Structure 1
């Protein structure tokens, strides 16, 4: 192909003309599949200009080797382009090292007969965004590449509204507020995230729903979607999520292992039909049980 009317990064140009995500194109470039003016280019940031001739070889997609498993999952919404899933607490979203079964992806492969987008590769078919293992709630899954690309763009430009509910340790004084603090890999423990000066922008809005003697029931809205964002931000301001031993206390009085966090609402524009879709789901049973215990201790809990 010949570059016309464009001066800028190679990955950006190819992403636009091929209708592929930037990450997909970057991988193709770095694997040595792109030539500019007969010279192999390995850097996504390489500058191309009008008149340059680009040759690109897109490898054949790998056949999915993951096992489709008949695991019961709740489908809140489904059409030919996408689905919205209510992920249960304790389920890993996609396979990783040493864990290739019993994930949400294994369940999706069975539920939708393998009809999932290929944008995120063999291990994460259909996965537009993730929830941590112990975070329950609503998750969008793409069935087609076109839907996936547009949903990813909407997510990046903050057009997908996500509401979470959580129980924090400690009593928040402010009725509402915002945590605007950059997040990146922890400088010492690379398995954790942390607020660091050179991290990526991360913004979380919170609103107090109920206060108890030692805890706070909160509603949270994400502007950005960094890894572990809510967990890191609430710990950063001194109110870690109940059960979160990674960013909070190692033990708790309820014996809960894993953060008490639920993705309760999601609102977005359908990537193909442009319809506005808005879904919500009830708090899971374990979450309600803890709330009931806290409420029973406080006959007049503060709202």
Structure 2
């Protein structure tokens, strides 16, 4: 008789910052009795090569924050290297003995930028369940060429040391089953890596659910697409997110492909997101952002009654750790400036208009923490792990930065991600999100016309893009899933994330540049009769 699956919390908080936001330290591998949680330092020269392999949330270079100056192109994709089971067949990898061996080609690693191939989009599909957008599990091949430091080392030793997404026995089994190959050939575990070897590993991916709220098109023409991103959806593939990202959803449901990232938002941050449809327009807008010609306005909801008038914060911000994406006010940090103004109230919270005049990682959140008015449901900067004052005035309780990082890891692990269904989770009090009214979440209706708020006059009808629309399934369809008998996640049932796991009260409301201006409606949590619209 098969043993019942263990029921665990769904993994929802990760993949927002350079490597992993501390708010997202869910320690998924600990849940599955795997090895160490910490990856290699992102500042190392070989980080990109380390991050391409497995959905290892501590080592993969992930989505930057709303304030980081990004590159124009979205993250580089590696070509698909093996033909895997079709997404709509409920069979396992072993049932596909005719896997195609692509031609080995180093240049093939740099195919078609900045977009993805249709085969990538067709790997799997979506379904809606409990107000969430979910992805059917699917097979995926990660590839990389051998690094110089790996040469003459045993392949199993390299994987155990370099890639800690899984325990050693998983890599050993992958070698035995022929899922982890060299130049697409099965090799023994004591095989010694040679120069220019192409390593490929097939994994069974289980993506994390995101909100089923639609990505609304704010403005679109032949050069640019502006959308209103819901909270919980990453901008592009990172960590354990791939199809549940803005770029994949827009491509699969709106046929908006090969978009160029102009700027990015944290996963939990909602609001305006701009994509270039041409390289020229993307470079133009990205340059405006880099040279601070773009005025950005955010709306947030903070604890307590924020002071009257305009409050300016000029505290320098330093990155405590790129590895887990944590910042704090520090004299050795970079210059920054943010202005804040209270525009309304909700219960004991204040609705605040934020204008970041510089672009630093987590700038708005860190400055609000320093002022003593953190975002009400910020899972990172509104936490006692920063000391009794929660970091107000830069006071983190007299501990070192190293201890702060260790505490963040320990507390987040204990609070959020190790509890079984029905058992008491260890508590270290964490701020719960105030209840908010929720609307019925429906998928995007292709017949709906986008709301335009812009100074540009181009007609949306100039861009014939909203075709090939594929509506997500309304419920789970067993025929569309895949399985892998050796996949540890196939044996685990995750608890669906709740509201507090999917949203943070920070919204990118208005962007204004040279000759253009876009804005969204205010989010539900900021809509109150006390809003002073004269201040907006």
What band does the TM-score fall into relative to the shorter chain? 0.5 to 0.7
What are the Cα deviations for residues 59-93 of structure 1, in whole angstroms up to 9, with x where unaligned?
A: 98423254277884211111111111111122111
What is residue 121 of structure 2 aligned with on the other side?
Answer: 67
**2:432 equivalent to 1:252:** yes
What is residue 258 of structure 2 aligned with on the other side?
Answer: 115
Cα deviation for residue 108 of structure 1 reads 2.8
Q: For 1:261 and 1:208, how far apart are their aligned partners in 2?
A: 14
The answer on whether the counterparts of 1:241 and 1:260 sit within 8 Å (CA) in structure 2 is yes
Looking at both structures, which has the greater relative contact order when contacts are Cα pairs under 8 Å and sequence separation is at least 6? 2
What is residue 461 of structure 2 aligned with on the other side?
Answer: none
The answer on whether the counterparts of 1:171 and 1:213 sit within 8 Å (CA) in structure 2 is no
Aligned in 2, Cα 1:172/1:191: closer, same or farther, shift over 3 Å?
same
Cα deviation for residue 285 of structure 1 reads 2.5
Q: What TM-score, normalized by structure 2, do the two folds share?
A: 0.38
Identify unmatched segments of 5+ residues in structure 1. Answer: 1-20, 25-57, 117-125, 270-275, 296-302
The answer on whether the counterparts of 1:240 and 1:248 sit within 8 Å (CA) in structure 2 is yes
Aligned in 2, Cα 1:187/1:141: closer, same or farther, shift over 3 Å?
closer
Runs ≥4 residues deviating over 6 A: 21-24, 68-71
Q: For 1:112 and 1:157, how far apart are their aligned partners in 2?
A: 32
Q: For 1:97 and 1:188, how far apart are their aligned partners in 2?
A: 15
The answer on whether the counterparts of 1:169 and 1:215 sit within 8 Å (CA) in structure 2 is yes
The answer on whether the counterparts of 1:171 and 1:212 sit within 8 Å (CA) in structure 2 is no
Q: For 1:135 and 1:23, how far apart are their aligned partners in 2?
A: 20
The RMSD of aligned alpha carbons is 3.0
What is residue 102 of structure 1 aligned with on the other side?
Answer: 244
What is residue 268 of structure 1 aligned with on the other side?
Answer: 513
Q: Find the structure with the greater CA-based Rg.
A: 2
Q: What TM-score, normalized by structure 1, do the two folds share?
A: 0.65
The answer on whether the counterparts of 2:376 and 2:431 sit within 8 Å (CA) in structure 1 is no
Q: For 2:305 and 2:323, how far apart are their aligned partners in 1?
A: 28
Q: For 1:187 and 1:266, how far apart are their aligned partners in 2?
A: 29
Cα deviation for residue 199 of structure 1 reads 2.3
Q: For 1:60 and 1:81, how far apart are their aligned partners in 2?
A: 27
Q: Report the structure, 1 or 2, having the larger strand content.
A: 1
Q: For 1:212 and 1:265, how far apart are their aligned partners in 2?
A: 21
| Range 186-195 or range 238-247, more displaced | 186-195
What are the Cα deviations for residues 18-41 of structure 1, in whole angstroms up to 9, with x where unaligned?
A: xxx9968xxxxxxxxxxxxxxxxx
What is residue 41 of structure 1 aligned with on the other side?
Answer: none
